[in-house]
A and B are shown apart, each in its own frame.
Chain A
């Protein structure tokens, strides 16, 4: 086993950049096609970049733009949401998401009316789950470090107190954001409707009673899947079943 680690490491170092190069090639080809106005071909190239393992906000932005030019509003919204998952402060993604949202047929419910919830949601929206978790972890470690240094560094008591306060502030600020974002990204199964119009039914079958209709761009919370159907909840709280091919999940698992 000891003899294997070096070849494996070399293989990983060689193969990983190769995948990255393939993905970048697809991406750059997509850009050229987009500039030539060949949006369908550009979309396919961006999709190939994603299939090659890319998880880059630039790919999602360009994918969304190509989809939007093809009147695929739902697909565009999905791509912008995926990009914002990686770069939540990216102004281009934020604007394009709002822009594409203006072409949705369904009206999204208004934001939280409680001030504190609105502020909390806005704050959480500025950080990725990893950033918030790293911030909270740093605060957690600093608090512990301050406790550790309290005895030996008695001469620098004020510095140790400052370290502890800094840790506590980091923890208090980032821990709720981390909890919200990790829950949102890792626990909640979210998705976006990409089909133009979908009939949501009361059961996982084509024969089930019709409940309501959703259109491209509608955000969904996936509750369960059964065969080719998923039970979903829309932001207004309504629940129903729709075919799995009509939405794209807002999740990217590591390759």
Chain B
């Protein structure tokens, strides 16, 4: 049964495999683009469908005028009339960058033959003719327009808090989406994350949902909402670019917008549809911090900060570490604050230092603290002072330099002066410092033989096969045991079932004695075969029967008189040979064997009935 099921599965598997390989031989490539005409800045959806090759990686040619902002892929398998068709779909969301006609083609690189190319698809990209998409330091100016000079129904802008920030000064960029009145946004997703090259960026808190407010641009009513806000900290003076943010939004027409023709040109909004929009990149001019009034020890601090410092102990031993903790806290990109300069005694070495910034992004600004943990070790005994720690910074709000300072700190080192110099500084934990004071454990000695590379158990299929088959074996044996147990519990049924098998075994043994001179043994086996069969079938003890009793029982059981007579005859003949010393040649024995076999067949048939 198992073998038959396994064979069927194997045949099915082979059929599927051969069908799949047959399907692989026919690879088809299809390119679809929606829509076919767009404005610069609008998005198109490009789908490449590969049929018949699951591993194929198609390429897109002629898409230089587009910027890919999102990709996704999926596959489907269909079995129709035993034929498998496999198709992979690669979908790209692309934003048009340049006006003109772009001819797109999907290409499958050549494997063994020539490359496969799809039918080319042309896409018309029109210039929007819009006003600058961003307005530094302000709200929306003129709305972007389409090729016909009509205000665009939906667009995004990046709005900056300042167009000329100082290095290190916070610049806030707010990405806002504008939607014409009469259109109801349903849901949105961001599919293009802005790049902030030349800035340290922290995302500010924004709501997860869009909170729209009414605005009017060029006498056109819009609704606007903030999508994302970032605090940017320029890292170097000069020109820097703030990247664009892309958004996909599902929009539908509201009752107020019904019958608004210009809008209908763009979208069929009665059912709602997904629209792509993205802001334009914006350039800013980053100014260097002013030199006037700059403290000599100012390095990079910009913002507004306080500083505190403490030692973990006031008394220590020579060569033992003392931890100096400095905390700089305030508004600004605190992570950019370098470790304050320390005017230390020559006998004090900075053994290791570690900085841990904690940035907190609020709604409007970024604040936080930076903790410096510095391990100091005195190499000479004495009383030491760590002079006041200074953190000078440029305060953009005050438009001037300020300096945060601490009080001087003191500690005493006792013990003998160290001869050796501590190791060079590095960023070390206490455990690392302790470990460095020790040495490697030494190498292992010579060996006669080495362990050679071998295949681990998990990589041996036989292990998994045994583990997988084990429960099946247990299940099979358990079922067998239960079945045997049940049969034994029903003794009569069990004897009856095995009666014929045992009788046939005895007949086989008797047959083996045909050619031998032991006639008594031959007849004894015949006798046992027939009598044992009847006893098993009637669930009685074989030796307890006399010929008459046996005949009576068989008669009750519905056995024919012919069979009973044949039994009596066989019994008598066997007794004569076995106990009365009568001889029986081979021919007679052969005849008796045939009669016994026929008798057993008759009895089996009639007792079963």
**Residues from chain A with Cβ under 8 Å of B478 in the complex:** 147-148, 151
Nearest CB of chain A from residue B414's CB, rounded to whole Å = 28
- Say yes or no: is A156 at the interface (Cβ < 8 Å to chain B): no
- Say yes or no: is B440 at the interface (Cβ < 8 Å to chain A): yes
Contact A24 B456 (CB under 8 A): no
Nearest CB of chain B from residue A121's CB, rounded to whole Å = 18
- Say yes or no: is B343 at the interface (Cβ < 8 Å to chain A): no
Which of A55, A57, A134 interacts with B452 by CB under 8 Å? Answer: A55
- Say yes or no: is A20 at the interface (Cβ < 8 Å to chain B): yes
- Within B436-450, the residues touching A (CB, 8 Å) are 436, 438-450
Contact B443 A62 (CB under 8 A): yes
Contact B428 A54 (CB under 8 A): no
Task: For the complex, give the distance between the alpha carbons of A19 and B454 in Å.
Answer: 13
- Say yes or no: is B463 at the interface (Cβ < 8 Å to chain A): yes
**Who on chain A is nearest to B470 by CB?**
A144
**Who on chain B is nearest to A104 by CB?**
B432
- Say yes or no: is B209 at the interface (Cβ < 8 Å to chain A): no
Contact A254 B450 (CB under 8 A): no
Contact A102 B428 (CB under 8 A): yes
Contact B456 A185 (CB under 8 A): yes
Nearest CB of chain B from residue A87's CB, rounded to whole Å = 10
Task: For the complex, give the distance between the alpha carbons of A74 and B321 in Å.
Answer: 28
- Within B502-528, the residues touching A (CB, 8 Å) are none
Task: For the complex, give the distance between the alpha carbons of A16 and B425 in Å.
Answer: 50
- Say yes or no: is A158 at the interface (Cβ < 8 Å to chain B): no
Given A137-B467, A144-B474, A130-B456 contact (CB < 8 Å): yes
Contact A55 B451 (CB under 8 A): yes
- Say yes or no: is B8 at the interface (Cβ < 8 Å to chain A): no
Contact B452 A53 (CB under 8 A): yes
Task: For the complex, give the distance between the alpha carbons of A129 and B459 in Å.
Answer: 11
Contact A34 B481 (CB under 8 A): no
**Who on chain A is nearest to B449 by CB?**
A20
Which of A20, A68, A107, A134 interacts with B440 by CB under 8 Å? Answer: A68
**Who on chain B is nearest to A87 by CB?**
B451
Q: What's the dominant secondary structure at chain A's contact region?
A: helix
Residue-wise, chain A 17-32 has the 8 Å CB interface mask toward B (1 for contact) of 1011101100110010
**Residues from chain A with Cβ under 8 Å of B442 in the complex:** 65
Task: For the complex, give the distance between the alpha carbons of A210 and B455 in Å.
Answer: 39
- Say yes or no: is B435 at the interface (Cβ < 8 Å to chain A): yes
Contact A99 B435 (CB under 8 A): yes
- Say yes or no: is B296 at the interface (Cβ < 8 Å to chain A): no
Interface size on A, residues (CB 8 A): 57
**Who on chain B is nearest to A152 by CB?**
B481
Contact A95 B441 (CB under 8 A): yes
Nearest CB of chain B from residue A227's CB, rounded to whole Å = 15
**Residues from chain A with Cβ under 8 Å of B433 in the complex:** 102
**Residues from chain A with Cβ under 8 Å of B447 in the complex:** 24, 27-28, 56, 58
**Residues from chain A with Cβ under 8 Å of B13 in the complex:** none
**Residues from chain B with Cβ under 8 Å of A100 in the complex:** 440
Residue of B438, B447, B455, B478 with highest tally of chain A CB at under 10 A: B447
Q: Which residues of A contact B (CB under 8 A)?
A: 16-17, 19-21, 23-24, 27-28, 31, 34, 49, 53-59, 61-62, 65-66, 68, 86, 91-92, 95-96, 98-103, 105, 107, 129-130, 133-134, 137, 140-141, 144, 147-148, 151-152, 178, 182, 185-186, 252-255
Q: Which residues of B contact A (CB under 8 A)?
A: 354, 426-429, 431-433, 435-436, 438-459, 463, 466-467, 470-471, 473-474, 477-478, 481-482, 485
The contact sample of 26 A-B pairs, CB cut-off 8 A, is A19-B452, A20-B449, A20-B450, A24-B450, A27-B450, A31-B444, A55-B452, A55-B454, A58-B450, A59-B450, A62-B444, A65-B440, A96-B441, A100-B440, A102-B433, A102-B436, A107-B429, A137-B466, A144-B471, A144-B473, A151-B482, A178-B458, A185-B456, A186-B458, A254-B454, A254-B459
A-B residue pairs, 4 tightest by C-beta: A102-B432, A58-B444, A55-B453, A102-B435
